[in-house]
Amino acid sequence: MTEIEKVRAWLDTFGLGGRVMEFDVSSATVALAAEAIGCEPGRIAKTLSFLVNGQAVFIVAAGDRRIDNPKFKQRFQTKAKMLTAEELEAFSGLQPGGVCPFALPENVTVWLDESLRAWDPLYPAAGTASSAVRLSPEELERASRAAGWVDVTK
């Protein structure tokens, strides 16, 4: 089963699988995804991957935001250290550009940044570098099985 098929099946359990979009162009960056969808960059729900105490932590944030290192350190008690491509694949099975907060192994924790609440709908990736899914913040919270909301961006 391909990554997008796994994500679509996962989202089907929440009644959301039919919203997955596949593109003929890359959506691997915020700018490319916004162009493919035809929306503002802030609506792209980018998934950033970090190493926290030896575990993978994914932060989903609005596409027009960046990680605020002091806020991250205060919240997670460690410096923001992004996963390498190899670590990302080892922890999640995902490739850079298609990282999403769905159908993840149990050892990956997902947090949603408060910046997402400013946008509805949102467009996170769907497991590939040429896909997205249209969700409200509440649907994203439910489908990602997020551990909660954090404020770690600027």
- Please write the tens of the pLDDT for every residue from 8-48: 999 999 999 999 999 999 999 999 999 999 999 999 999 99
- Residue 96 is predicted with a pLDDT of 86
With respect to residue 115, please indicate whether it lies within any of the assigned structural domains: yes
Q: Which residue has the tokens 């391909």?
A: 2
Q: Write out the residue range of the structural domain in which residue 68 sits.
A: 3-147
Q: Which of 111, 110, 131, 132 lies closest to 122, judged by CA?
A: 132
- Sheet of 44-52, strand order: 123-124, 44-52, 55-62, 108-113, 148-150
With respect to residue 112, please indicate whether it lies within any of the assigned structural domains: yes
Neighbours of 72 (CB within 10 A): 23
Number of domains in the chain: 1
Q: How many CA atoms lie within 13 A of 55 on its CB side?
A: 11
CB 85 within 8 A of CB 8: no
With respect to residue 54, please indicate whether it lies within any of the assigned structural domains: yes
Residues of the chain with pLDDT under 50: none
Compute the distance between CA of residue 137 and CA of residue 88 in angstroms, rounded to an integer.
24
- Residue 97 is predicted with a pLDDT of 84
The CATH number assigned to the domain holding 128 equals 3.90.960.10
